[in-house]
């Protein structure tokens, strides 16, 4: 047979490599016996593809951006959990934020960058940390606030989070096609969350200004 048929082999993860190897051995036997003209091309997918990314001495580097879908939005899914351990960072998209028309629908508290310490200066790191602290504080107090059980002045950190929440949400929203230079984004971030005074009280609410990142 003059014509040939190329077959892409994608072993994947879990029991995928075992099943793939068994199937390929059968096809190769048939190919030898009947001269089917089969050609096999193996490509790495799943966790195997992650092992190819990174930096090697004197041979350059491979940078990859991977999209991972998890069943039922369960971030503790074994595959998602393994990927979080292997990657330099991850961005978690939230169905709830998308439903609230908050785009990009990035769950800041669920997302992590292990390179932030190398890419941000100390002031920027502190400002990013303060933003995350406000979001975490509001998340913990949200139910109390929703039912009217929280009284302003009871907790300085909750007061700060409530005062900064609207500017933070404005900063985190971005229109499709909108572009903001890094310098402008960092300037807004540095003035976004009011610092807490030595007495544990937030500064004047007017100091918290919003913007889009």
Mean pLDDT, rounded, for 23-36: 93
- What is the per-residue pLDDT across 139-197, written as a single tens digit (0 to 9) for each? 999 999 999 999 999 999 999 999 999 999 999 999 999 999 999 999 999 999 876 65
Residue 129 CB neighbours (<10 A): 13
Question: Is the pTM of the predicted complex or chain greater than 0.75?
Answer: no
Structure tokens at 121: 């200066």
pLDDT in tens, 41-82: 988 877 777 777 777 777 778 788 888 888 888 888 887 887
Give the bridge partners for 55, in sequence order: 61
pLDDT in tens, 121-144: 999 999 999 999 999 999 999 999
Output the 3-class SS for the chain: CCCCEEEEECCCCCCHHHHHHHHHHHHHHHHHHHCCCEEEEECCCCHHHHCCCEECCCCCEECCCCCCCCHHHCCCCHHHHHHHHHCCEECCECHHHHHCCCCCCECCCCCEECCHHHHCCHHHHHHHHHHHHHHHHHHHHHHHHHCCCCCCCCCHHHHHHHHHHHHHHHHHCCCCCCCCCHHHHHHHHHCCCCCECCCCCECCHHHCCCCCC
Place of tokens 């048939």: 30
CA–CA separation, 6 and 107 (whole Å):
42
CA–CA separation, 139 vs 109, rounded Å? Answer: 10
Q: At what angle do helices 122-146 and 182-190 cross, to 10 degrees?
A: 60
CA dist., res. 98 & res. 87, Å (int): 25
């Amino acid at each position: 047979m003059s014509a040939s048929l190329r077959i892409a082999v994608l072993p994947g993860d879990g029991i995928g490599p075992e099943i793939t190897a068994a199937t390929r051995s059968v096809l190769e036997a048939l190919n030898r016996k009947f001269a089917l003209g089969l050609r096999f091309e193996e490509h790495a997918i799943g966790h195997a593809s992650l092992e190819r990314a990174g930096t090697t001495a004197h041979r350059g580097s491979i940078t990859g951006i991977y999209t991972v879908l998890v069943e039922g939005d369960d971030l503790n899914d074994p595959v998602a959990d393994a990927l979080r351990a292997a990657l330099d960072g991850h961005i978690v998209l939230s169905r709830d934020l998308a439903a609230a028309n908050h785009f990009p629908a990035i769950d800041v508290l669920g997302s992590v960058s292990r390179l932030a310490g190398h890419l941000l200066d100390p002031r920027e790191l502190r400002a990013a940390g303060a933003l995350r602290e406000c979001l975490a504080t509001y998340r913990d107090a949200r139910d109390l606030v929703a039912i009217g059980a929280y009284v302003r002045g009871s907790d300085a950190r909750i007061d700060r989070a409530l005062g900064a929440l609207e500017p933070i949400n404005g900063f985190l929203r971005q229109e499709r096609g909108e572009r903001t230079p890094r310098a402008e984004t960092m300037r807004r971030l540095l003035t976004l969350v009011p610092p807490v005074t030595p007495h544990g009280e937030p500064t004047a609410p007017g100091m918290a200004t919003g913007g889009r990142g």
